[in-house]
Structure 1
């Protein structure tokens, strides 16, 4: 029996069953990056709708100018025809503002297109007209991906939505190799980040110790602080310089103010991935990532004496710093990288695909 020599293996390649438009405020180009770059699934295709604005992730609240930028981005995405795909469309977003803008469009157009809100982290909930609009829009969001288990309860109550619309997935970072470290002139403690930081408490904890300290933060986080001579404030550093200082520091402190909100994760994950020991305030955004005494140290909120004791303990124990730092890097590599969380994103997105 003769076989058809015109057979092509491509004719049995499955057609995509879902085409996802990807909207993030940190994607100015059309190249698929972020977590979708690590998904290899013939059922799923991705198209990035580029951002054309600056996104300040340290800003606690978005102003009118920022909301206009997010709304423009959402409108462009909504009305842009997919490139080369006839598959059903969905929207995959990062940060809360974009899915809220898309959801408002979805509600007023009576659409049923799915919206997956990845990295839905508000920092704090709010009332008034903004709260009413958020609840109105959020009913059109199909899945909320949050990065602390506590946020499931917080947001489901605030938005008055079922808990099963929220799932916890660890926040992810782009894993980087360990850079070469030049020998620092002096040992130092590093603290970094702007949003929700308790630098007043940190300075009080450090003052009796006198350890050289570098704080990398925006000016608004340092307002009304009288810094002692051993504390140096740096602002506006490029990310590469922040990473260099993170790798060179003896230890990193992320001291938080409002423990009702999830914050600080990016800062401590990006230092843990360089194998540095961290001291972090116990809060909703930290307890899912730091195992006290194993991958870092947790201190109680507002406990200046406890923070001082933890800093002194790590400063004076090289073996402990090495053990916690190595465990921290392993923890990030195993659970908090784009590659590590890609299977969970694939599972979420495939739940909307037509079989």
Structure 2
């Protein structure tokens, strides 16, 4: 069966890669990647998390192109493209199989925005979400059968290890912006006086005063973030618990695990789907200064434990969070939709 793939991070077919397509086994399905007209803006550098009018026009055109080019179905990445394809389906009255991969809306809006989401997404056949809790959350929010939602772990391509842990000037790294609990982290590192580098955006750091042991350079790129994660002796992902938040922190966690780094993360917002406490990382109770202090102190002073957790994390991530694992899972979904369409 033929599928078009619409992913907003694919703008140039020569440089942006082919997403999961090379990792889908067999030759049962054929794929055409539909590029986005304009490059996607960096989320961390945006002044607002909302999608503006001009961006929606780009998404709508992208979705229209994907539907027009397919001879079978469409695979979208990110919720905006799923909505765009859903709208185009209703406008064109062309009912085709659609898979909405990486369907994470951050928080579920109410009122008119909820109505628009329900209207545009009612014909999506399968939503792939990256935490178990999202299956229930989105089913209720969109008033759709829970069977349309499937949990599959977020995947990350293999990341080259180009830097070793900095044992001469050790530090803690905290990378990412979404729903981060930097307030608790700053209190914990101040108690322990641990050198810490926070790589985040201005919105996530607004109103916070950094202790002397911390620094937060703004505007650093992806490559620099990966270098920080590799050189840090501990990667910490503190997240604020919120029932309205669907998921947060998974990208940073999976990247650190793929690089074989010891991770401490908060037990909330679906993070518990990724770390096996004491085996592939440490999970602490959210907003617990005492819990975070204990975990940081333990890992900071035990390199053998850091190495063991990092090694286990890398093996576990290669098995469950790789492009190969995601390609196999997507292949199974496409097989099921092809069979049900006959």
TM-score (norm: length of structure 2): 0.92
Runs of 4+ in 1 over 4 A off after TM superposition: 182-185
Which of residues 41, 53, 58 is equivalent to 2:39?
A: 53
Query: RMSD of the TM alignment (CA)?
Result: 1.7
User: What is the number of equivalent residue pairs in this alignment?
Assistant: 332
For the residue of structure 2 that corresponds to 1:279, the secondary structure is strand
Counterpart selection for 2:263 from 275, 278, 285: 278
Classify the secondary structure of the residue corresponding to 1:215: strand
Contact 1:191 1:252 (C-alpha < 8 Å) held by counterparts? yes
Which residue of 2 is the match for residue 234 of structure 1?
217
Q: Name 1:204's counterpart in structure 2.
A: 187
Q: Within the alignment, does 1:290 sit opposite 2:275 as a pair?
A: yes
Alpha-carbon offset, residue 189 of structure 1: 0.3
Structure 2 SS opposite 1:319:
helix
The unaligned stretches of length 5 or more in structure 1 are 1-17, 83-87
Q: Name the counterpart of 1:224.
A: 207
CA contact (8 A) 2:25 2:327 kept: no
1:97: how far off? 0.5
Structure 1 residue 301 displacement after superposition: 1.3
Q: Which runs of 5+ in 2 are unaligned?
A: none
1 or 2, which has the higher helix percentage? 2
Q: Is the 8 A contact 2:166 2:232 kept in 1?
A: no
Moved more, 148-157 or 40-49: 40-49
CA distance in 1, matches of 2:314, 2:132: 22
Distance 2:163 2:267 in 1: 31
Q: Displacement, 1:93? A: 0.7
Deviations 1:188-209 (A, max 9, x none): 0000101111111110111111
SS of residue matched to 1:21: strand
Q: In 2, Cα distance between the equivalents of 1:178 and 1:335? A: 19
Does the CA-based 8 Å contact 2:5-2:34 persist in structure 1?
yes
What is the CA–CA distance in structure 2 between the aligned matches of 1:119 and 1:55, rounded to whole Å?
Answer: 18
Q: 1:93 aligns with which of 57, 62, 76?
A: 76
Say if 1:218 and 1:235, in contact at 8 Å, map to a contact too: yes
Q: Could you report, residue by residue, the CA deviation over 1:236-283 in whole angstroms, capped at 9, with x for unpaired residues?
A: 222222111111100011011244320111111111111111010111
Superposition map of 1:11-26 within 5 A: 18-26=1-9
Alpha-carbon separation, structure 2, partners of 1:292 and 1:185? 28
TM-score, L = length of structure 1: 0.89
- Tell me how far 1:28 sits from its aligned partner: 1.1
Larger radius of gyration: 1
Among 172, 177, 184, the residue aligned to 2:155: 172
